[in-house]
Amino acid sequence: MRSYAIAALAVLAAAPPARAAVNVMTATEDLADLTRQVGGDRVKVESIARGYQDPHFVEAKPSFILKLAKADLLVVVGRELEIGWLPPLIQQSRNAKVQVGADGYLDASLTVKILEIPTGQITRAMGDVHPLGNPHYWLDPDNGRRIAKAIADKLARMAPADAPYFASRYADFDRRLGEAEKRWDALMAPYKGLKIVTYHRSWPNFADRFGLDVIGYVEPRPGIPPSPGHTIELIAEMKRQNVKILLVEPYFDLKTPQSIGRETGAKVLVMPPSVGGEKEITDYIQLFDYDLGLLVAAIKETGAK
């Protein structure tokens, strides 16, 4: 018994001193999960937005100011996705580490493939909430891989002693994501070129990656609510092209989508674009498993092609 205790003490004495975990805040749950994937137990992570909220319009709760004040790292989606709610939280946190451009501010959009970058003059004058290209880029798994790599590299610079740990966590995530991609590609292979309509322009990277053809949107422009004139044109186009699936993000009113569904015979499919959008979607890989599962079931149900 006594020698047991001595042995236990010896083990304790030999253990390296516990390092404080890197304190990370992220704008969204997708970024929080990617941070957890590569950061493991060497990070403490919390997201400001919930996955069931419209990421363009999040209520900036003051409680997040205190949390941001203690953060070592803030990871954001960027491309002005958070412009309506994050800047005041950052400023009021008075935390020099996480101010825009500081070392603890990581804009995930800088290392990914961005679609729909406007050419010519950039303006929000018409209310378009995507003035710097499409900010929903995490819906391509290869962009998820690039974000995870950027976070792992950043963590390694912030906590150099843990760099090998972050590198091996990233390698494991990359491997699991690669295996999942094979599964998703096989699932979607029969439906290349499938025509769909979506409510908001949340899915261009997803559509590109999985071979879907988005022929129209319920919103006339990103962030602009549906108008009767635009809806009539959309219905005519959906009938002409025989579109049978209308994707709606969970935070939009279903009234217009349902009337479009009645007119065209298309199925209105509510599909979450983020981790946490449904309670089953607890991580980044599950997000695609869940969404592709929903989509394929709807394709089979409607006979869409």
Q: Where on the chain is the footprint of Zn ion (CB under 5 A)?
A: 222
Residue with Cβ nearer Zn ion (40 or 84): 84
- What's the half-sphere exposure (Cβ side, CA atoms, 13 Å) at 191? 27
Continuous segment of H or E residues that includes residue 29: helix 29-39
Distance CA 38, CA 31 (A): 11
**Do 142 and 18 touch, CB atoms closer than 8 A?**
no
Residue with Cβ nearer Zn ion (118 or 190): 118
Q: What is the DSSP letter of 223?
A: T
Q: Which residues contact 305 (CB under 8 A, 6 or more apart)?
A: 191, 194, 299
Q: Which backbone phi and psi does 12 adopt, to 5 degrees? A: -60, -45
Q: Residue 133 CB, nearest distance to Zn ion (Å)?
A: 11
Give, in degrees to the nearest 5, the angle at Cα 212 between 207 and 218: 75
Q: Residue 222 CB, nearest distance to Zn ion (Å)?
A: 5
Residue with Cβ nearer Zn ion (162 or 219): 219
Strands (E), the chain: 22-26, 43-47, 73-76, 105-107, 194-198, 212-217, 245-248, 267-270
Distance CA 20, CA 105 (A): 19
Q: Residue 210 CB, nearest distance to Zn ion (Å)?
A: 19
Residue with Cβ nearer Zn ion (26 or 95): 26
Q: Residue 55 CB, nearest distance to Zn ion (Å)?
A: 7
Distance of CA 81 to the CA centre of its chain: 11
Q: Residue 32 CB, nearest distance to Zn ion (Å)?
A: 19
* Residue number, nearest CB to Zn ion: 222
Q: Residue 148 CB, nearest distance to Zn ion (Å)?
A: 22
Residue with Cβ nearer Zn ion (222 or 272): 222
Angle, helices 284-302/163-188, rounded to nearest 10 degrees: 0
Residue with Cβ nearer Zn ion (82 or 162): 82
Residue with Cβ nearer Zn ion (115 or 296): 115
β-bridge mates for residue 212, sequence order: 194
Q: Residue 7 CB, nearest distance to Zn ion (Å)?
A: 58
